[in-house]
């Protein structure tokens, strides 16, 4: 249900579409990470580990089903299972590794900082001083 060493206490549902948490509170009455940045990094690492567990489960189960299909002389029905489940694994890969680099919160913060620097740079830049020759 809950994740290890997390301040969250309640129902935690993980899936290829994302995570859903119902409830709140702290485990053991203590705050695990006071630093917001550490919490964000911890959350991102957990999403990455969840993807790798999902991929390992996919490979093991589909591999076992393929062996079963081959042993029974079936009509390769396992391809449908692999294709549908593989699409969910691919979707989870994209949401875990690709989209945070494209439009995640970190990207938004970097873009805001860049825009602030541009605007401050224009406002702070004074025209060059005039010389007597001008």
What's the pLDDT tens digit per position in 17-71?
A: 767 777 655 444 444 557 888 888 888 899 999 999 999 999 999 999 999 999 9
Domain that holds residue 16: 1-32
Tokens representing 77? 């029905």
Residue 67 within any structural domain of the chain = no
- Rounded distance between C-alpha atoms, residue 94 and residue 102, angstroms: 10
> Is the pLDDT at 78 greater than 90, yes or no?
yes
Instruction: Note the pTM of the prediction, 2 decimals.
Output: 0.58
15 belongs to a structural domain: yes
- Residue 39: inside a domain, yes or no? no
- The residue assigned the tokens 């439009």 is 103
Does residue 120 have a pLDDT over 80?
yes
The number of folded domains in the chain is 1
Q: Is residue 110 part of a domain?
A: no
Task: Please tell me the predicted confidence (pLDDT) of residue 94.
Answer: 93
Encoded tokens for 97: 């590794």
Is residue 16 situated within a structural domain? yes
- What confidence category does residue 74 fall into, taking pLDDT thresholds of 50, 70 and 90? confident
């Amino acid at each position: 249900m809950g994740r290890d060493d997390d301040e969250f206490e309640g129902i935690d549902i993980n899936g290829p579409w994302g995570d859903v948490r119902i409830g709140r509170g702290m485990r053991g009455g203590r705050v695990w990470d006071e630093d917001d940045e550490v919490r964000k990094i911890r959350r991102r690492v957990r999403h990455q580990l969840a993807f790798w567990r999902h991929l390992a489960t996919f490979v093991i189960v589909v591999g076992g089903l393929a062996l079963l299909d081959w042993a029974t002389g079936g009509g390769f029905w396992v391809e449908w299972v692999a294709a549908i489940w593989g699409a969910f694994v691919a979707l989870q890969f994209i949401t875990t590794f690709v989209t945070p680099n494209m439009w995640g919160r970190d990207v938004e913060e970097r873009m805001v900082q860049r825009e602030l620097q541009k605007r401050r740079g224009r406002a702070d830049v004074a025209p060059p001083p005039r010389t007597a020759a001008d």
